[in-house]
Amino acid sequence: MTQPLRLGIAGLGTVGAGLIALVQRNAALIEARAGRPVTITAVSARSRSRNRGVDISSYAWEDDPLTLARRDDVDVVVELMGGEDGPAKALTEAAIAAGKDIVTANKALLALHGQALAEAAEAKGVALRFEAAVAGGIPVIKALMEGLAGNKITRIKGVMNGTCNYILTRMEDAGLPYDTVFEEANQLGYLEADPTLDVGGIDAAHKLALLSAIAFGVQPNFDAIELGGIQQIEIEDIRAAADLGLRIKLLGVAQMTGRGLEQSMTPCLVPADSPLGQLKGGTNMVVIEGDAIERVVLRGPGAGAGPTASAVIGDVIDIARGLRLPVFGQPAASLAQPQAARATASKPFYLRMTLIDKPGALAKVAEALGNAGVSIDRMRQQGHADTRAPVLVITHKTTRDAIDHAVALSLKTGVVVDEPVALAIEED
């Protein structure tokens, strides 16, 4: 009889319980496709008594995940605890040292420590797979590492955080302010324990760093990503975007240029009728552009027990089949240290400013933009009932550096109240 592939699962939250349910439910299907049985022998979590909705009574229990990693009856360690350091990092290092293959959904761990872990795993001859770390159930890692491996990837962009997309689309559909929808998302359990990871763009930027590493053959470089969250977005911005035929999305973009690797995860405006503009709720989308395939669009559920467990078991089945690939698609030792570059491509921008309502205020702002080399396409002052006058500006094509300079000059005029909101308009 063919030897089973034996899993040790560390972390029994939503994804861990979902994985157990999937393995139990689809055991025969998984065996047929993997070419051998896939079984669970041991589990570890913080609480043994918690009801997780799945039967774990037949599995060995380890209070210490490091002990689980060293068990002789565990072939693959599945790390679902999360966290960029601490137990998750220690477990992954212990599994590698013990010669175990690892499957993880931990994007933060790999975005920050991926290079060192990849070198260690490859030196030890073990697999380190992480399909579940990026875009939930969408097989984007597999697409880049296998199906598109012969392409020179030119650009990656997409919506990679379902919570942010839920908040933005809910604001638009229900006409609700950000704070109300944020609290709603929190009550529904959509937000991380530290909500800034979601709404601050950090979670999505971790994912972008991993995609960039595979796509461009570079070491993960999370610290070089231009980062912006959705906390500044107000219902007025949502409505103004709709009037322009646009929608606001937290958009990740990465591309290699002659100056270096450009990476950003920031709120942007996209055409409402584009694939990205039509994306609703917690759905993710990744657009991959390459020299041979031109453009591939991958769309699907970005989180949740089922989709994430699906990605985990896909990696497990590959290991069962004997598939061995470098962690980031090519040997870790060959990955370049990327030169970080700021985007210089010209594009229109949306600006929202709140001005003191007095004569000459608009003229001062227009002069500040002109002095920064920013040309105004359209300007609109919204109705108001007090001394604060909201003003919306759509610029002609310009650069992010010019916009930042224009904002800085505007703030020095003495007529701008609060920090302006500046969002790029992505036309493609």
Residues 365 and 411: their CA atoms lie apart, in Å, by: 9
- Name the pairing type of β-strands 416-425 and 260-271: parallel
Q: In whole angstroms, how far apart are CA 143 and each of 70, 204, 305, 367? A: 32, 19, 22, 49
Residues 150 and 124: their CA atoms lie apart, in Å, by: 27
Residue listed under structure tokens 């009889």: 1
142: Cα within 13 Å, side-chain hemisphere: 18
Residues 270 and 163: their CA atoms lie apart, in Å, by: 18
**Residue 207 annotated in active site:** yes
Give the residue from 42, 77, 75, 45 showing the smallest Cα distance to 58: 42
- Name the pairing type of β-strands 294-301 and 226-227: unpaired
Strand ordering across the sheet containing 101-104: 60-61, 38-44, 5-10, 76-79, 101-104, 128-129
Phi-psi map region of 132: left, alpha, beta (phi>0 left; psi -120 to 50 alpha):
alpha
Residues 342 and 361: their CA atoms lie apart, in Å, by: 32
Q: CB-based contacts of 38: which residues, under 8 Å, 6+ apart?
A: 4, 5, 7, 23, 27, 30, 31, 313, 316, 317, 320
Active-site hit among 89, 100, 157, 207:
207
Please state the length of the chain: 428
Start-to-end Cα distance in the chain: 54
250 DSSP assignment: E
Q: CB-based contacts of 68: which residues, under 8 Å, 6+ apart?
A: 8, 10, 42, 43, 44, 62, 74, 77, 91
Active site residues: 207
